[in-house]
Amino acid sequence: MDYSESTPQNIYDHENFLEKFLEKFGKSKEENGWGIQMLSSLPKSVKGMDILELGAGDGFTMKYLVEQGAASVTGYDISEKMITLAKNMNENNNNVIAEVKDLETLQLPEQQYDLVVSFYTFHYIFNYKSIMETIVKSLKQGGKLVIVMEHPIYTASIEQPIWIERPSGDRAWPVSNYFIEGKRIRNWIDFEGVVKYHRTLSTYIQTPIGLGLNLTHLEEFCPSDQQILKNPEQIDNFIRPLVLNLCFTK
Of the candidates 64, 69, 59, which has an alpha carbon nearest to the alpha carbon of residue 97? 59
Give the pLDDT score at 4. Answer: 46
Which parts of the chain sit beneath pLDDT 70?
1-8, 15, 24-38
Give the pLDDT score at 234. Answer: 83
Task: Compute the Cα dihedral for 52, 37, 199, 210 and give only its sign.
Answer: positive
Instruction: Determine the Cα–Cα distance for residues 204 and 220; give it in Å rounded to an integer.
Output: 13
Give the pLDDT score at 227. Answer: 82
Distance of CA 75 to the CA centre of its chain: 13
Give the pLDDT score at 33. Answer: 52
Give the pLDDT score at 114. Answer: 98
Give the pLDDT score at 189. Answer: 78
Count how many Cα atoms sit within 13 Å of the Cα of residue 80 in the half-sphere of its side chain: 3
- Residue type present at position 33: G
**Per-residue model confidence as pLDDT tens digits over 62-80:** 999 999 999 999 999 999 9
Give the pLDDT score at 2. Answer: 39
- Residue type present at position 155: T
Give the pLDDT score at 7. Answer: 59
Of the candidates 241, 248, 198, which has an alpha carbon nearest to the alpha carbon of residue 223? 241
Q: Which CATH architecture has domain 11-151+201-249?
A: 3-Layer(aba) Sandwich (3.40)
Of the candidates 2, 50, 30, which has an alpha carbon nearest to the alpha carbon of residue 183? 2
Domain boundaries, the chain: 11-151+201-249
Give the pLDDT score at 11. Answer: 74
